[in-house]
Amino acid sequence: MDVAAQIRPNPAEGPLPAYRARVKAGVLNADPAQQAAAETLQELWHRLRGYDPKPSEPEKPGGGLLGRLFRKRGAEDGVKEAPCGLYLVGQVGRGKSMLMDLFFDAADVPRKRRIHFHSFMQECHQRIHTWKKANPSGEDPIQPLADRILAEAALLCFDEFQVHDITDAMILGRLFEALFARGVVIVATSNTAPDDLFKGKPGRDAFLPFIAIIKKQVEVLALDSQRDYRRDRIRGLPTWHSPADGRAERALDAAYRELTGEAHGAPMVLEVLGRKVELPEAARGVARASFDDLCNKPLGPADFLAVATHFHTLVMDDIPRLNPDNFDRARRFITLIDAMYEHRCKLVASAAATPDQLYEHGQNAAMFERTASRLMEMQSQEYLKLPHLS
C-alpha cells in the first residue's frame, strides 16, 4: 500500500486510527503524549457520534427565561446528554492543532465549526453590536447570541484559546454558561491552562467564574510532549529571501504552508489600547503581512509588542531598502524587530537586500546597525531553537 493510502483512513473510525496511520506511514513521529491525547479524543469522538441538540423554540409568554435557559437536555429532547468537552493545553509546537485536525475531520456531528478563538470573539462582538442596534430597548443580547451559535454548531472547536482583552473577559462567563446550558460542546487548544487565563490583568476577579465554568464543563488535558515540532519545521526553512521577487514570494508561500498546514490564513485584528492592528492572514500562531501592512501605518511599540507576543512567527513580504527619506517606516521596522527579538518571535521574510544592505547610507544608518545584526542573528539555528515568549 502506498503512503497516501496509509494516511487516508476512514473518518468513520475516529481520530485515533488516523493518528496511528500517520505514524505508521512515517508522516508523524511516534510520541507518547500525542498518542494519549489521541486516545482521549477518540473517547470523545465516540460519545459525540450523532449528537444533535436542537435549538430551543422561541420562548412562550410566561415561560420564563431561566426555565428555557437551564432546562435539562437529554432523553426528553430526543438527543444525547451533552458530553464533557476537552481543553488541550501545552506549549507551542507540541501537535495540538494537528490532533484537532484529526478530531474535527472525523467528528460525526451534523453541525460543527472550527474557528480561531480570537476570530470567534470578534464575530461575537460584531453580532452583539448588530443586535443592540436592532433592539435599542436594552434587552440582554447574550441569550439570542447563544441561540444563534447553537443553530450553527453543536460542536465548537477553538484554536489558540487565549483571553487578552477585557471586553472579551466581561462577556465570556455569561456567554459560555448559556452555550453549555444549550448543550454546545467545546473542544479547544491553548498554550495557557485555564487557571492562568487573563492572569495579572485588571478585572480578573470578575473573570474567575468563567474559569470555574470551563473547568466544570470540559476535561483539561495537558499535552506534555518533550519535542517542539513547530521549531523543528522552522529550523529546516530558509528565513531570509532577497531580492523580493517572484521566487521569494513562492518561498514565503511554501513556508506559510509548512508552518500552518494551510495555503492561506484568515484576516485577524488585534485590539491594542483601543486601536486595531490588522493582519491580512493568520493561522496557528503564524501571521503573514507585508512591510507596508505594519510599517507604513501609524503603529507604535504597544502594537508591535502585541504582534510579537501573539504570534510565534511572522511571515513578512517586501521589505524595501530604507533611507533617510523613509525613516518613519524604518523607525517602525526597527521597533518591530526589537519587539520580535526580545520575545523570540521568528521571522520569515522577503526583502530588497540582505540585512546589512537594507540601510547603508545617510542619517540614522548607524541606528540601523543593531537591527541588521539582530536580523542576521534571527536567521541562526541557535535563535530558531529558542522558545517563543508569548
Structural domains present in the chain: 3-222 (3.40.50.300), 229-384 (3.40.50)
Cell numbers representing residue 175 in the block: 456567554
* Position 377 confidence tier, pLDDT thresholds 50, 70, 90: very high
Contact of 80 with 112, CB cutoff 8 Å: no
* Position 346 confidence tier, pLDDT thresholds 50, 70, 90: very high
Q: How far apart are CA 172 and CA 65, in angstroms?
A: 19
Judged against a pLDDT cut of 60, whether residue 57 lies above it is answered with: no
Q: Are strands 275-283 and 286-290 parallel, antiparallel or unpaired?
A: antiparallel
What pLDDT does residue 239 have?
92
Nearest partner of 155 among 49, 279, 313, judged by Cα: 49
* Position 58 confidence tier, pLDDT thresholds 50, 70, 90: very low
The angle, 0 to 180 degrees and rounded to 10, between the axes of the packed helices 32-48 and 15-24 is 150
Cell numbers representing residue 261 in the block: 498546514
Query: Grid coordinates 508552518 are at which residue?
Result: 259
Q: How far apart are CA 112 and CA 123, in angstroms?
A: 16
Query: Grid coordinates 465549526 are at which residue?
Result: 113
* Position 366 confidence tier, pLDDT thresholds 50, 70, 90: confident
What pLDDT does residue 363 have?
79
Which residues contact residue 317 at a Cβ distance below 8 angstroms, ignoring those fewer than 6 apart?
244, 249, 252, 288, 289, 290, 291, 349, 350
Contact of 88 with 223, CB cutoff 8 Å: yes
* Position 147 confidence tier, pLDDT thresholds 50, 70, 90: very high
What are the C-alpha distances in Å from 280 to residues 41, 269, 352? 32, 9, 21
* Position 113 confidence tier, pLDDT thresholds 50, 70, 90: very high
Judged against a pLDDT cut of 90, whether residue 338 lies above it is answered with: yes
For 37, the 3-state DSSP assignment is helix
Q: How far apart are CA 74 and CA 82, in angstroms?
A: 8
What pLDDT does residue 71 have?
40
Nearest partner of 211 among 221, 220, 222, 223, judged by Cα: 220
According to DSSP, the residues that pair with 281 across neighbouring strands are 288
DSSP string, 41-82: HHHHHHHHTT--PPPPPPPPTTS-HHHHHHPPPSGGGTSPPP
Contact of 143 with 172, CB cutoff 8 Å: no
- The helix (H) or strand (E) run that includes residue 103 is helix 96-106
* Position 367 confidence tier, pLDDT thresholds 50, 70, 90: confident
- The predicted model scores a pTM of 0.64
What pLDDT does residue 28 have?
81
107, burial (CB in 10 Å: exposed 0-12, middle 13-18, buried 19+)? buried
Of 292-301, 321-330, 362-371, highest mean pLDDT? 292-301
What pLDDT does residue 232 have?
64
Cell numbers representing residue 287 in the block: 501571521
* Position 144 confidence tier, pLDDT thresholds 50, 70, 90: very high
Contact of 90 with 225, CB cutoff 8 Å: yes
- Greater confidence (229 vs 184) lies with 184
Q: What is the mean pLDDT of the chain?
A: 85
* Position 231 confidence tier, pLDDT thresholds 50, 70, 90: low
What pLDDT does residue 52 have?
92
Question: To the nearest whole percent, how much of the chain has pLDDT over 90?
Answer: 49
Judged against a pLDDT cut of 80, whether residue 273 lies above it is answered with: no
Judged against a pLDDT cut of 80, whether residue 78 lies above it is answered with: no
Q: How far apart are CA 208 and CA 346, in angstroms?
A: 33
What are the C-alpha distances in Å from 274 to residues 77, 163, 295? 44, 16, 19
Q: Are strands 112-116 and 286-290 parallel, antiparallel or unpaired?
A: unpaired
